């Protein structure tokens, strides 16, 4: 099979009507924070047990087409000894892998960040493929302030994302391109729209320069929302209108799917905002979907509490959240469904 065909097959499996992506790629420090919130110690055994529970949720494949894994998870097995990547693949769910190595301050651009991990990426991707991963994910973060992101920050982050995506495609791995504009701060929705438009313009210019095949990427961006400290907030309809306006100006129709990150929204907010986009703009040129981490997992974590006897409740909580986001994919969600 040639590389382009491999990429097209993976995209076809990842981008399916009514389905989205579960982000279960929390780094060791991040999942330790998630576990601490429910008074559970983050050990390798408990991380394996929790993620195994998520991946074996009955009926998960009805609403989830792909799962992003952390490197540790790709080496772990379910209780019966099956590699967790195979557990997903056996359900028709595509396993993928987070490949960035976290961000650092960007020199000479105070307040901006840049992500590391490009060195040796091609070789790592080859190894991940042998373990079952078919796509990858790389996150760049953009803080919003009066001065950020700077022109240097926009350019450096876009260049890094494009280099990552080009390397992935050369290895037959579909890249999820994640430019996350942080929700932290008291900025208005108009300021968020201004920044996200600039970010996406720079990202797609860099992708074009590096000859990345847009038909074989998934975009994982932020929704256009006001900062979390701004009051009053925005309605789902305001978020939908602002987001679609920006994306129509910046995202080529060749991109098959926009799988939004939840980025600090509550599970209910993330679902309602996605639903508004699909309800109000059914003719969008891309699939409007989700790639949520905490917004899918938070109810499951609360139900689990680190206890084996809570396994059924954990899986039911994840299934319910996936079902609601599946409805939002079709513009058919309503807050009444939360009950």
Please state, as a whole number, how many other Cβ atoms lie within 10 Å of the Cβ of residue 54. 22
d(CA 242, CA 181): 14
The DSSP annotation for 243-267 comes to HHHHHHHHS-TT--EEEE--TT--H
The DSSP symbol for 67 reads: E
d(CA 118, CA 161): 10
CA-to-CA distance for 22 and 8, rounded, in angstroms? Answer: 20
Catalytic (active-site) positions: 178, 220
Q: In whole angstroms, how large is the CA radius of gyration of the chain?
A: 19
- Quick check: 175 and 168 in contact, CB under 8 A? yes
User: DSSP assignment, residue 336?
Assistant: G
Q: Helix (H, G, I), strand (E, B), or coil: what is residue 94?
A: strand
In 157-252, where do the E strands start and end? 174-181, 218-219
**Which residue has tokens 């097995």?**
77
Determine contact, residues 114/160, Cβ cutoff 8 Å.
yes
Q: Among candidates 235, 231, 229, 240, which has minimal Cα distance to 264? A: 229
């Amino acid at each position: 099979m040639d590389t382009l065909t491999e990429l097209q097959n993976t995209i076809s499996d990842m981008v399916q009507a009514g389905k989205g992506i579960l982000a279960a790629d929390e780094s060791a420090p991040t999942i330790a924070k998630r576990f601490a919130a429910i008074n559970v110690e983050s050990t390798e055994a408990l991380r394996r047990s929790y993620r195994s529970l998520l991946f074996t949720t009955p009926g998960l494949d009805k609403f989830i087409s792909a799962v992003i894994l952390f490197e540790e998870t790709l080496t772990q097995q379910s209780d019966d000894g099956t590699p967790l990547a195979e557990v997903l693949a056996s359900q028709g769910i595509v396993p993928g892998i987070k490949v960035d190595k976290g961000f650092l301050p960007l020199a000479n651009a105070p307040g901006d960040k840049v992500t590391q991990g490009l060195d040796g990426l091609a070789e790592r991707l080859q190894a991940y493929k042998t373990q079952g991963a078919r796509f990858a994910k790389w996150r760049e973060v953009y803080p919003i302030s009066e001065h950020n992101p700077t022109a240097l920050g926009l350019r450096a982050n876009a260049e890094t994302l494009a280099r990552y995506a080009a390397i992935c495609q050369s290895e037959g791995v579909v890249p999820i391109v994640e430019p996350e504009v942080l929700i932290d701060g008291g900025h208005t929705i108009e300021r968020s729209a201004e920044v996200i438009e600039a970010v996406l313009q720079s990202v797609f210019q860099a992708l074009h320069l590096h000859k990345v095949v847009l038909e074989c990427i998934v975009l994982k961006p932020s929704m256009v929302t006001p900062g979390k400290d701004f009051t009053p907030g925005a309605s789902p309809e305001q978020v939908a209108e602002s987001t679609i306006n920006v994306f129509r100006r910046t995202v080529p129709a060749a991109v098959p799917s926009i799988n939004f990150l939840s980025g600090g929204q509550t599970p209910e907010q993330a679902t309602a905002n996605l639903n508004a986009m699909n309800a109000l703009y059914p003719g969008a040129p891309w699939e409007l979907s989700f790639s949520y981490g905490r917004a899918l997992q938070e109810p499951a974590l609360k139900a689990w509490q680190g206890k084996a006897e809570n396994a059924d409740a954990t899986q039911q909580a994840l299934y319910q959240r996936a079902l609601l986001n599946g409805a939002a994919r079709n513009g058919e969600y309503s807050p009444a469904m939360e009950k």
